[in-house]
A and B are shown apart, each in its own frame.
Chain A
Amino acid sequence: MDRAVGADAADAGRRGTPSRGLDTLPEHSRGSPLSVHAMTVAYRRKPVLWDVDYDAPRSGLVAIVGPNGAGKSTFIKACLGLIPKVSGRVEFWGRPYREQRRRVGYVPQRESVDWDFPVSALDVVCMGRYGKIGWCRPVSRAHREAGLACLERVGIADLAGRQISQLSGGQQQRVFLARALAQQADLYFMDEPFTGVDAATERAIVEVLRALRAQGRTVICVHHDLQSVEEYFEHVILMNMRIVAAGPVGGVFTRENLQRTYGGRLTLLAEASEAFAQAERGGG
């Protein structure tokens, strides 16, 4: 790995998270809900995330912001093992993901599923409890009650029996949020929960996020609205194929860092990825 590429991340680390080499894990990261170390991810052999280091705070709301194609969703999916890493290590409370699955909740992008699927809102929410229910057993009454309570928390308990295609976009997003709540996790990943929702849904989601923070949970959200970052979140990750800066909003969410994240032309990394992909295709 070319260390010059990682230099910026290390630089950013001085502001937010501590910098470290490839082989050392700082002591405190063992207790961190999420500790990402030297992670590089590629899609179809085209690198989209380079040498990412990150330690999540023990509790609080974290926004991931960055331009399109910056690798924000990729970061979440790679952490959850949904797409393979080229290199690096991801640990949850110091253990690999498969041992901590029960403590991690996930809200995928709303567009990632077919909403004409023949299930009700409550059916979807109960999927968050399948892990607790286990193999080959039906969803018991108690679990349905728990699912209903989660729908209540996002304010649409009255729609529990609706087929999910009969819900508005905002209501569908709330169903996904309720499913994550049903997981009763300590760390949540949410992929653009605020995208394409109405004002009422946005308020409902923010309320839920604040309640999670009050309970000492950590929530990591891909977020696209720079206006509301400071209002909703206290930590931020600025990402553009690498972590440009990460840490408390007050120190990191600066004009200068945003400029570096959203800088108009292609970053050097994007150009390098493109060149690499071209070579792979045998084109360039």
Chain B
Amino acid sequence: MSGPLVLSAGAGGGAGAWERLGEVLSFRAGYNTTVVLVGVLMLGIAGGVVGALALLRKRSLVADALSHATLPGVGLGFIVASSLGAGGKNVSVLLTGAAVTGALGVLCVQAIARWSRLAQDAAIAIVLSVFFGAGVVILSVVQGMSAGNQGGLKAFIYGQTAAMSVGDAALMGAIALLSAGAAVLLLKEFAVVAFDEGFARATGWPVMALDLAGMALIVLVTVAGLQAVGLLLIVAILIVPPAAARFWTDRVGGLVLLSAVLGGASGLLGAGASAVLPGKPTGAVIVLVAGGLFLLSMLLAPRRGLLAAGLRRARLRWRVIEDHALRAMLEHTDTHGGARVPRGALARACGWGGSLASWPLRVLIARGLLRREGGDMALTPAGAARAAAVTRNHRLWERYLIERADIAPSHVDFSADLVEHVLSPSIVAALENALRAEGRLPSPHPLSAVEESGARR
């Protein structure tokens, strides 16, 4: 491990910083910076892959308990190493200690959840806090020892990315390769265990062994990432990229791949940014970048994203407004005769407030469903066809609820109003059959024109 070095940026801000970022990200910013970049890139990839497997198995929080449980191991490793005279900061001893107590923490979570009546979330909280507390106490003991240079131990809590050596980066590369290899070879095995443990067990897959393998990978990534990101933040490398990836894909393979890409990108961009912005802790910036990618995914993903969902809801809401307006038009012309409906009557029938009344009308006109006739409104041919179909659905559903579902007629309009807008053609056909069989199809009068137009829906 080389001595700590500072990734210092050029003093300039503005365009200079962007230039510098491009330089860093294209690995032209000098040897040490490049080593760090490659290291965190590999760490991000490994975390993304392993974290995706943990997310599928719903074990993300166990990784959190694990990372906190590494702290006492670091302290104990220091004590052991210095008492053996190997020098307190022998990294391999420290990391071995971290791995041991980390694994012990995971075992404690499993044991508590299995043999007590506590649920796993409580078990995780207990293990996480108690092990971390133990670690803090042990570190204070270490600080009181005269064994000398223990200053670097705090780096395990907050991380010290800039201190990464070529060996560290190579280790991360090896772990990334191992994780990716395991994910490629054992993807279907991990998937069946995560999706349906009972079925996996019944068909002979060794659930316990596969879980242990997954957990071993998590331990590896966590311990390898301790020095770079710190034990408080390493869990973000494991959880955030797969959670972001889940928004974009509906396939296990896609999830693992995309999670690796997002993890690697977080590492690269985070380290790059912290190289440009001097004095900013790299681990934290990496996690912030990952968080930013997550936020973008949550908002923008095409099907599962919040914007898409909001758009779908808005569209359905508009559909309800439109259906009501068209049905009100048809019912008004039915009872009052003629083809024209005063705007006020339409607004009242639809429950639109005075000033609000104009925008739905304008949209309906723009969509070619209504037209103005003097001060009144009239259905266009397209609007008339839609109105007939909508009215028919409404009456079918209303009748069905009264006849079959034993819902009081006074309650029907409310539930009918909600459901009729989402009736699929096959449900409508089934409703028709059910009611026709009993000779209870709703009154044919305004619906006779519907038979042709109904076929188009």
Closest chain-A Cβ to B195's Cβ sits at a distance in Å of 5
Q: Is the CB of A112 within 8 A of B203?
A: no
List A contacts of B187 (CB < 8 A): 138
Given contacts A127-B195, A130-B188, A135-B189, contact A120 B251 (CB under 8 A): yes
Mask of B177-196 contacts with A, CB within 8 angstroms, 1/0: 00000000111110110111
B interface residues, how many (CB within 8 angstroms): 26
Chain B contact residues: helix, strand, loop or mixed: helix
List A contacts of B205 (CB < 8 A): 130
Task: Name the residue on A nearest B191 (C-beta).
Answer: A119
Given contacts A117-B194, A127-B195, contact A163 B202 (CB under 8 A): no
Is A157 interfacial (CB 8 A cutoff)?
no
Q: Is the CB of B203 within 8 A of A130?
A: yes
List B contacts of A101 (CB < 8 A): 202-204
List A contacts of B56 (CB < 8 A): 117-118
Is B221 interfacial (CB 8 A cutoff)?
no
With the chains together, A106 CA to B195 CA distance in Å? 15
With the chains together, A81 CA to B203 CA distance in Å? 10
List B contacts of A80 (CB < 8 A): 201-202
Is B255 interfacial (CB 8 A cutoff)?
yes
With the chains together, A114 CA to B56 CA distance in Å? 10
Closest chain-B Cβ to A143's Cβ sits at a distance in Å of 11
With the chains together, A139 CA to B251 CA distance in Å? 14
With the chains together, A120 CA to B191 CA distance in Å? 12
Q: Is the CB of A130 within 8 A of B202?
A: no
Q: Which of B234-257 contact A (CB under 8 A)?
A: 246, 249-252, 254-255
Q: Is the CB of A98 within 8 A of B204?
A: yes
Interface-central residue, B203, B251, B252, by most chain A CB under 10 Å: B203
List B contacts of A114 (CB < 8 A): 58, 195
Interface-central residue, B189, B198, B251, B254, by most chain A CB under 10 Å: B198
List A contacts of B203 (CB < 8 A): 101, 106, 127-128, 130-131, 183
Mask of B363-399 contacts with A, CB within 8 angstroms, 1/0: 0000000000000000000000000000000000000
Is A53 interfacial (CB 8 A cutoff)?
no
Is B199 interfacial (CB 8 A cutoff)?
yes
List B contacts of A77 (CB < 8 A): 198
For the A-B complex, the count of residue pairs with Cβ-Cβ distances under 8 Å equals: 75
Is A91 interfacial (CB 8 A cutoff)?
no
With the chains together, A103 CA to B198 CA distance in Å? 17
With the chains together, A74 CA to B192 CA distance in Å? 22
Closest chain-B Cβ to A115's Cβ sits at a distance in Å of 10
With the chains together, A163 CA to B187 CA distance in Å? 18
- Identify A118's interface contact among B189, B199, B255, CB under 8 A: B255
With the chains together, A118 CA to B249 CA distance in Å? 7
Closest chain-B Cβ to A90's Cβ sits at a distance in Å of 13
Given contacts A112-B198, A130-B205, contact A118 B251 (CB under 8 A): yes
Q: Is the CB of B252 within 8 A of A118?
A: yes
- Identify B250's interface contact among A98, A120, A136, A138, CB under 8 A: A120
With the chains together, A139 CA to B253 CA distance in Å? 12
Closest chain-A Cβ to B371's Cβ sits at a distance in Å of 39
- Identify A81's interface contact among B199, B202, B250, CB under 8 A: B202
Is A82 interfacial (CB 8 A cutoff)?
yes
List A contacts of B251 (CB < 8 A): 118-120, 123
Is A124 interfacial (CB 8 A cutoff)?
yes
With the chains together, A183 CA to B254 CA distance in Å? 26
Interface-central residue, B186, B201, B255, by most chain A CB under 10 Å: B201
Mask of B152-192 contacts with A, CB within 8 angstroms, 1/0: 00000000000000000000000000000000011111011
With the chains together, A138 CA to B187 CA distance in Å? 8
- Identify B198's interface contact among A108, A135, A183, CB under 8 A: A108
Closest chain-A Cβ to B201's Cβ sits at a distance in Å of 6
Mask of A2-40 contacts with B, CB within 8 angstroms, 1/0: 000000000000000000000000000000000000000
Q: Is the CB of A108 within 8 A of B252?
A: no
List B contacts of A82 (CB < 8 A): 198, 201-202
With the chains together, A230 CA to B249 CA distance in Å? 45
Is A113 interfacial (CB 8 A cutoff)?
yes
Q: Which of B6-26 contact A (CB under 8 A)?
A: none
Given contacts A138-B188, A139-B188, contact A127 B202 (CB under 8 A): no
What are 26 inter-chain pairs, A to B, with CB distance below 8 A?
A: A80-B201, A81-B201, A106-B198, A106-B202, A108-B199, A113-B195, A114-B58, A114-B195, A117-B194, A117-B195, A118-B249, A118-B252, A118-B255, A119-B191, A119-B252, A120-B250, A123-B191, A123-B252, A127-B191, A127-B195, A127-B196, A128-B203, A130-B188, A130-B203, A133-B188, A183-B203
A residues with a Cβ closer than 8 A to B are 77, 80-82, 98, 101, 104, 106, 108, 112-114, 117-120, 123-124, 127-128, 130-131, 133, 135-136, 138-139, 163, 179, 183
> Which 8 interchain pairs have the tightest Cβ spacing?
A163-B250, A136-B185, A80-B202, A106-B202, A101-B204, A117-B195, A113-B196, A127-B192
B residues with a Cβ closer than 8 A to A are 56, 58, 185-189, 191-192, 194-196, 198-199, 201-205, 246, 249-252, 254-255
Instruction: A112-B198, A117-B195 are known; give 15 further A-B pairs, CB within 8 A.
Output: A80-B202, A82-B202, A106-B199, A106-B203, A108-B196, A108-B199, A113-B195, A118-B249, A118-B251, A120-B251, A130-B203, A133-B188, A138-B187, A139-B188, A183-B203
